[in-house]
Amino acid sequence: MPSFLCIIPARGGSKGIPNKNIIDLNGFPLIFYSIKSAKKSNIFDSIIVSTDSKKIATIAKRYGAEVPFLRPKEISGDKSLVEDAIFYTLERIEEYDYVCLLQPTSPLLTEEDLKNSLNILFDKKADMVISVSKPLCNIDLIGKLGKDGSMKDFHRNNVYGTLRQDFEDKYVLNGAIYFGKWDIFYRKKNYYAQNSYGYIMHEERSIDIDNFLDLELAEFLLKKK
């Protein structure tokens, strides 16, 4: 039987929302939801939270995650890469066959999303499965203004007059799930350049908490559920 590790990176600092990863969301700290989904999926042999914060570590342990050590501040700042935090964890623990990176800022992720991602991983004999969703707006209609506010180059793809239903489906990374082989994470390979496949998550479950408006929307949807 293959072994599975879940890593949830959750640093202490956040500019947009102070203490974002443990802010209250519908009566629970934000990180609770990712831990809960990982546990309910019954996929993982271990669920590890990678953090530099003692407070986050205490809360993560309360809800059933492991925090075997705190990561240093130099890989926990605003400009630090998640890949570095993952590598720091992997080089200090035993090896697993598969690793799943979950973001604590995706509280509407479900255990079914994790199971579906795993199914794709095996069915496609993939190296990596990455969650995506349909964008909230048509990205073909996104453009930029000139320095003087001019719109003459706004639509470079000549989409003016195209009917909505005639656009091809496109997807955006929603940041919720990265599920793949240990080696890809450990060697810090390009996640997308491998034998990678997308898992399409519903837009409603793809909310990524980045500001207070996202938080209010997530709370509304959780209460609706």
Tens of pLDDT, residue by residue over 149-196, are 887 777 666 665 565 566 677 888 999 999 999 999 998 778 887 789
Residue 130 is which amino acid?
Answer: I
Tally of CA atoms within 13 A in the half-sphere of 64 that contains its CB: 14
Tens of pLDDT, residue by residue over 30-60, are 999 999 999 999 999 999 999 999 999 999 9
Does pLDDT of 146 surpass 60?
yes
* CATH architecture for the domain at 4-134+171-224: Alpha-Beta Complex (3.90)
Nearest alpha-carbon partner for 123 in 131, 134, 115: 115
DSSP 166: G
Query: What global pTM score does this model have?
Result: 0.87
Please tell me the predicted confidence (pLDDT) of residue 150: 83
What is the C-alpha to C-alpha distance for residues 199 and 179, in angstroms, rounded to an integer? 10
128-133 and 98-102 strand pairing: unpaired
Provide the residue ranges of all domains of the chain, joining segments of one domain with +: 4-134+171-224
Distance spanning both ends of the chain, measured CA to CA: 35
